[in-house]
Chains A and B, each alone.
Chain A
Amino acid sequence: MGEVLVVTSGKGGVGKTTTTANLGTSLAMSGNKVALVDADIGLRNLDVVMGLENRIVYDLVDVVEGFCRLKQALIKDKRMESLYLLPAAQTKDKTAVTPDQMRGLCQELRGEFDFVLIDSPAGIEQGFRNAVAGADKAIIVTTPEVAAVRDADRIIGLLEAANMRSPHLIINRMRPSMVRRGDMMDIEDMLEILAVDLLGVVPEDEQIVISTNRGEPAVLSHSSKAGEAYRDITRRLQGEVVPIQPLALDGGIFQRLRKIMGFGQN
């Protein structure tokens, strides 16, 4: 039985789709059978980031409405044998699917795949509720900005109210130089408020923009710093203990990270 993970954030544009594409690709690279589900119905993106847009025939709404079988709608990745994408419908909206239908869909996918990653839309309305309905665990993406952290906190509160197991946090677009100048929230500030496990820190990286436009996730490139961070996160997702790159931050924060990652300080 596979694990269903939803990638969500509250705030828009913080890197949910980027994270879903990269973790999915990277999990497949390390031998897992992976399904990516684009639950951002009406604003689909994941297919573009994966470079699979021109292969779409059926979509998620077609599947839940019974117009096609799940197998027909799943698009096989260009590069990875064991990676599939279930695209969102572009011409419908979030109300075209119900949380119950999403639970059913996740149940079916779980039987076929080791990991199912769901890319959630921004917001806390029906699109969010659909995206999290069938998930076992949530990965919360935030950026080091007060508003993004506030929204992440709100999302965590909603997940807790629904009895979802403790979520994992990814901090995206980190810029150590700005933190050092005091122009950005540091990791410790964020963890103090959110009080959840840190899964990884992804640096700001121009390569993400280039790879997004090319439809090739950054984890495929060995020169990308963000790609490297996503590869580390992938290993942590599979239970390995991988230290978080210090990102040239000061000692206090690094120690706190070690503690969180189970290194202890004795």
Chain B
Amino acid sequence: MGKEESTIEGEEGLLALFMQEQDAPELKERMQSKLAATERYLRQAGLGLDQVLSAAGERSAPGRAREYAGCPEERSTLLWRRTLRSGQRISCRGNVVVLGDVNPGAEVVARGDILVLGTLRGVAHAGAMGNSRAIVAAFRLQPMQLRIGRLISRPPEGESPPGLPEVARVRSGKVVIEGYLPRGERHGADGSG
């Protein structure tokens, strides 16, 4: 295994990867040197180094590696290019798109929408700051738990998912799961079946 270190990438978002083995001062020092290069991103993100560290620290259970990602802007989208595995968590001020699965034990948190181009088996929280108009969509929606805005829901037990893309959204104060039909809205609008 290579040397464990924290990485920051500034592609579609700002991504910081924390490994537990580093104690905070050492981590901070390393981060700082890397951050110098991506200072512009940071300013856009409105995130100071201390904020990033405390956000990661708060969620750190002892002995667990942490992943933390924040988007530069609320309306931007973080693209996560692999499967999110058990124990991994991404959180973002904007939307999140996962190009892979979200496995059981993994967690995605977004202030905006969450879109999983794979199977969502873990926990997803869209509209994390209370936006109940956020949605969670996945090719296979089999979440451990879904949270939208302030609502928390579990999928009904014993029901097997249809094997088609689905969307979860809030309707009349409840999280409902609907089939995702690409042309569904248009059909609804012009009144034809």
Contacts and interface: CB of A to CB of B under 8 A. Distances in A.
Interface of A: 99, 123-126, 129, 132-133, 135, 146, 150-151, 153-154, 156-164, 192-193, 195
B2 A162 contact: yes
Contacts of B83: 195
A163 B104 CA distance: 22
B105 interface: yes
Given A161-B19, A193-B103, A154 B87 contact: yes
Contacts, number: 62
A159 B4 CA distance: 10
Q: Sorted from nearest, which 7 A-B pairs have the closest CB atoms? A: A157-B85, A153-B86, A154-B86, A162-B1, A154-B87, A132-B1, A153-B85
A164 B104 CA distance: 22
Interface in B68-95: 82-88
Of the four ranges (under 10, 10 to 19, 20 to 34, 35 or more), the interface on chain B belongs to 20 to 34
A153 B67 contact: no
B12 interface: no
Contacts of A129: 1, 4, 21
B133 interface: no
Main secondary structure of the interface of B (DSSP, over half): loop
Contacts of A159: 1
B64 A153 contact: no
A133 B3 CA distance: 8
B65 interface: yes
Contacts of B84: 157
B157 to A, nearest CB: 15
B141 to A, nearest CB: 15
Contacts of A153: 85-86, 103-105
25 contacts: A99-B4, A99-B21, A124-B64, A124-B87, A129-B1, A129-B4, A133-B1, A135-B1, A146-B104, A150-B104, A153-B86, A154-B86, A154-B87, A157-B85, A160-B85, A161-B4, A161-B17, A161-B65, A162-B19, A163-B1, A193-B101, A193-B103, A193-B104, A193-B121, A195-B83
